[in-house]
Amino acid sequence: MDKLKTKKEYAKDKLIERSGTENWRSGKYCYAISSIIGLLYDINKVKGKCETIIRDICKIISAINGCKYIDNIMVDLNSLESYKSLETLTDLATEKNDPRLIKQRSTAWFDIRSKAKVTGSTLYRSIGLDGLKNLKEHFEQVICGAPEKQFSEKVKDAMKHGVENEINAVATLVGKVIPVLFPGMIFCEEGCVISSDDSGNTFCVVSPDGSLRQDTSLLSTSMAVEIKCPTTDIHFQLPPRYLLQCLSQIEALNVNSLIYLSWTETLTSIFKVERNINLYNNAMEIARSIYDTSNPKRPNTLCSSVKTLKDEIERASKDACFLGCFPSAKVGKATVRSAFEVHTVHEISVLLNSLVDLHSQIHEIKREKATEAVVFICADLNRSWNKNLSLSSPVAWFTKGYSLETKKMREIAEEVHNRCHESGIHIPCQSFDGQWHNLVVRDSENNPLTTLQLQKDVWREVEQTKKTEVVSKFRGMNKKPKWIYHNENGSKVVVVSNYIRNVPPLKRNKILTSEKATPSNNSSDREITQGDECADNNTEDIVNDPEQDFGRDKEDSHLDEHISNEDAKCLLAMLKSDQNSNKKGKWNTSQVTDITVILSSLERMQSLLDADIRVIVRFFKKSKTINVNETATKQKKLEKLSEKLGLNYHVK
């Protein structure tokens, strides 16, 4: 109903805007606007009835369960026995150092998370399910120590909204959901659970929003709890991007299910997520292949199994069981508990009748209005006119709305055809409107039935092929050609076998700045050398120069203003993990001081490869202190870096 209301309000605003007059009642859309306003009134009226009936259902079920339902928007958590804070659990625990007893968002909690390569909330992003760009950013953040990406104000507000209202979602769960769905259970706050790699270092940290237990002991944990507070509408389906986070919490607490709670100020939706060990292990296997290695490398492509995993997540998220919607609550002092003893059988009967009437009203509001009729006419192929002969007769008809899927139309057409056959009417062919053209050219599995449709499908697929895939295919051609020699007019001619007359692949050339440039040369003067001969140029010599501590330029005084040891350490880690920059391991033996020396001299920076300069530019762009693209020319990037580092850049 909320989505329908949003659509109708949008349509009303658009029609009022198009009226073009100050008073829409005198405009040409007055009847349409009035109709929408009337429908909005009915929607609001039905929504009010829904909230009342939901509240009454919760009160009665709580009474049947023998639990007390908080029939108020304000819930005092401290007065409820079904809520246990982390402080209370710590006092009752025998093992005080368990990470599950560490307060979330505390200094100790942040310290633990800072050592992790992956967390429950970042697992989806860290393995590339959110795109290669986000995967690279996460890698540089946890492996290289790069600064965290700055979020937009809108994202910050949404995150703040979630943090501030998480306690209200807990109040809703404790005061209104547990008495109805999980009687006798206790909600307990949780800290975090640490998973280590083979070396004993922290690899994954998972922080559940809470758990449902039989008592206050850790061993009695029955279900995990994950809370989301969207700023728009509540979730009526589990978002796929949160499934791995839910599965990681299930494995961390070693339970079989999780309660997913989506809270808004008016309504709260509840889902139950079941354990899926195979899906979780597949995701963790990808994560370990990227981050849990002796020498992690920044990925340039996504793992081949990511697409399959994403499809599995999409399907699994639809299997999450929707348990229902509940009135939302907030933390407060005024707590009113329902007196379940007063509910009678008559009240339940009245409630059920009201529920039936409510469903009828909702169906009437949401049903799609018919806009046209579809008629099946049985006609004779003999079109000779005769006054006493009926050439056609309707055999079936139905009304349809704004749209009708081809699949559904195929089922209807086949049903009518079979009914005619059962009645002894032979139908050799069918004709229909062009909008059902796919009934002829495709089968029920959407496969092409004609050569022309197959050609269209192939062309559409090829047309949508990415440039990188096309280039990769061309690069894979003629890798191992068989040479054929023959003489033409006394000359020896070489051709390629297997009917491919392609030019043999040439070695890739690299453009290097000429070291012998004269004063008359400008910055665009180049010399071209073979790629194999200048793979690393003289970068190794610069990085490992024994006199590098003594050869600083006079611009050194500007360096401390822009680069610190922590920044240099992060930059060195980025250079080591970049597959293009550290292709032959030239940065493996470098130290932090080597980076500060290189960034203090323009000549040393000019001697770096473009792949190295790209990494340096990417580092400074993370802190938004430089405005230049990684794909810009080397001279342009050096110019911007010189401005940042206080070096005098000049073109000879």
Relative to beta strand 257-263, strand 267-274 is antiparallel
Provide the 3-class DSSP secondary structure of residue 373.
strand
Residues 478 and 469 sit within 8 Å (Cβ to Cβ): no
Task: With beta carbons less than 8 A apart as the criterion, state whether 574 and 146 touch.
Answer: yes
- Provide φ and ψ at 315, rounded to 5°: -70, -40
Strand duo 83-84 + 330-331: pairing: unpaired
d(CA 270, CA 373): 41
Are the beta carbons of 283 and 292 closer than 8 angstroms? no
Given the candidates 3.10.20.30, 3.40.50.720, 3.30.2350.10, 3.90.320.10, the CATH classification of the domain at 70-337 is 3.90.320.10
Helices (H) and strands (E) in the chain, counts: 22, 18
DSSP per-residue letters across 281-328: HHHHHHHHHHHSSSS--B-SS--TTHHHHHHHHHHHHHTSEEEEEEE-
Q: Are 275 and 248 in contact (CB under 8 A)?
A: no
Tell me the C-alpha distance between 466 and 447, whole Å. Answer: 23
Residue 538 has what DSSP assignment? T
Q: pLDDT (tens digit, 9 = 90+) per residue, 579-611?
A: 888 888 889 889 989 988 898 888 888 899 999
**Helix (H/G/I), strand (E/B), else coil: 88:** helix
Separation between Cα atoms, residue 252 and residue 464, nearest integer Å:
42
- 175 to each of 75, 186, 327, how far by Cα in Å? 7, 11, 10
Rounded CA gap, 433 and 373, in Å?
13
Please give the pLDDT value at position 280: 95
Q: Any idea of the CA torsion for 8, 13, 15, 19, to the nearest 10 degrees? A: 160
Sheet with 202-206, strands from edge to edge, namely: 118-119, 202-206, 193-196
User: Can you give the pTM of this predicted structure?
Assistant: 0.72
At residue 264, φ and ψ (nearest 5 deg) are -130, 175
Q: What is the pLDDT of residue 24?
A: 84
CA distances 238 to 6, 130, 159, 357, Å, are 21, 17, 19, 29
Cα–chain center distance at 41: 36
CA proximity to 619, closest of 598, 604, 603: 598
Name 225's Cβ contacts closer than 8 Å, sequence gap at least 6.
173, 187, 190, 208, 209, 210, 211, 212, 258, 259, 261
**Side-chain half-sphere of 223: how many Cα atoms within 13 Å?**
18
> Of 165, 255, 172, 174, nearest to 208 (Cα)?
255
For the chain, residues with pLDDT lower than 70 are: 21, 334-343, 383-385, 478, 480-482, 495-562, 624, 649-652
Q: What is the pLDDT of residues 412-465, one digit of tens each?
A: 999 999 999 999 988 888 888 888 888 889 888 889 999 999 999 999 998 888
Give the other-Cβ count within 10 Å of 593's Cβ: 13
Angle between helix 2-19 and helix 30-65 axes, rounded to 10 deg: 160
Tell me: the pLDDT tens digits for 376-423?
A: 988 877 766 677 777 788 899 998 887 888 889 999 999 999 999 999
> Considering only CA atoms, which of 217, 226, 228, 165 is closest in space to residue 186?
217
Query: If you search the block for the tokens 């293009």, which residue do you land on?
Result: 580
Q: So what's the pLDDT on residue 285?
A: 94
| Short-list 613, 616, 647, 652, CA closest to 633 | 613
Instruction: Identify whether the C-beta of residue 620 lies closer than 8 Å to the C-beta of residue 644.
Output: yes
User: How many C-beta neighbours within 10 Å does residue 394 have?
Assistant: 9
Q: Coil, helix or strand for 119?
A: strand
Cα 563 to Cα 566: distance, rounded to the nearest angstrom = 8
- Residue 140 to residue 375: CA distance in whole angstroms: 63
Angle among Cα 601, 615, 633 to the nearest 5 degrees reads: 75
Q: Read out DSSP for 390-431?
A: --EEEEEEEEE-S---HHHHHHHHHHHHHHHHHTT-------
Give the separation between CA 48 and CA 43, rounded to whole angstroms: 9
- Local structure of 510: helix, strand or coil: strand
Domain boundaries, the chain: 70-337, 372-431, 536-645
Please work out, in degrees rounded to the nearest 5, the angle formed at the alpha carbon of residue 530 by the alpha carbons of 529 and 534: 80
